[in-house]
Amino acid sequence: MPDKTTGLYFALFNEIAIIEQLSRAMFEARLPKGLMVSHFSVLNHLVRVGDGATPLKLARAFQQPKTTMTHTLAGLERHGYVRMEPNPKDKRSKQVFITKEGRVFREDAIGLLAPDVARIAAIFPPAQAEALLPGLQALREEMDGLRD
């Protein structure tokens, strides 16, 4: 493997890290204090995919350590945005449900973030975003698969 190839992937991951950084900073500047993009993302996932999933399943969906998800869910629960129930299928486990307050917060947050999204869309049009997405999804899935 030539150095040039290694450098290519370093450059790729570096761009990705910077964009992640920029988007997180931009969004968190809009969210109320104490709520992070991680909180919003979980609520968004619960609405889009449906709730009732276990914490571990959520951690896997975001490819995060389960301790991180425990922490994020604790924050959401403290705000009353999710409810944790014992999992009837497995006494070790729990199920996560989004509350009405959680749905309201998600809706509000989308409204708060919309202007930023619009600013991005103005300079990086949806067609370009759509062009990028499949490649990123493919990369994500492949890297996901490497984790065994």
Q: Which residues bind a copy of itself (CB under 8 A)?
A: 1, 5-6, 8-26, 37, 41, 44, 62-64, 110, 113-114, 117-121, 123-124, 126, 128-133, 135-140, 142-147
In angstroms, the CA 18 to CA 26 distance is 12
Classified as helix, coil or strand, 113 is: helix
Site membership for DNA, residue 24 (CB under 7 A): yes
118 binds, among DNA, a copy of itself, none (CB under 5 to 8 A by kind): a copy of itself
Residue 43 buriedness (CB in 10 A; 0-12 / 13-18 / 19+): buried
72 binds, among DNA, a copy of itself, none (CB under 5 to 8 A by kind): DNA
Query: How near is the Cβ of 88 to a copy of itself at its closest, in Å?
Result: 30
- List, in order, residues 6 or more apart from 110 with CB less than 8 Å away: none
Site membership for DNA, residue 4 (CB under 7 A): no
Name the residue nearer to DNA (CB basis): 39 or 106. Answer: 39
Backbone region of residue 64 per phi and psi (left: phi > 0; alpha: psi in -120 to 50; beta: other values):
beta
Site membership for DNA, residue 94 (CB under 7 A): yes
In angstroms, the CA 98 to CA 45 distance is 10
Q: Which residues bind DNA (CB under 7 A)?
A: 21, 24-25, 28-29, 34, 36, 38, 54-57, 64-68, 70-75, 84, 87, 90-94
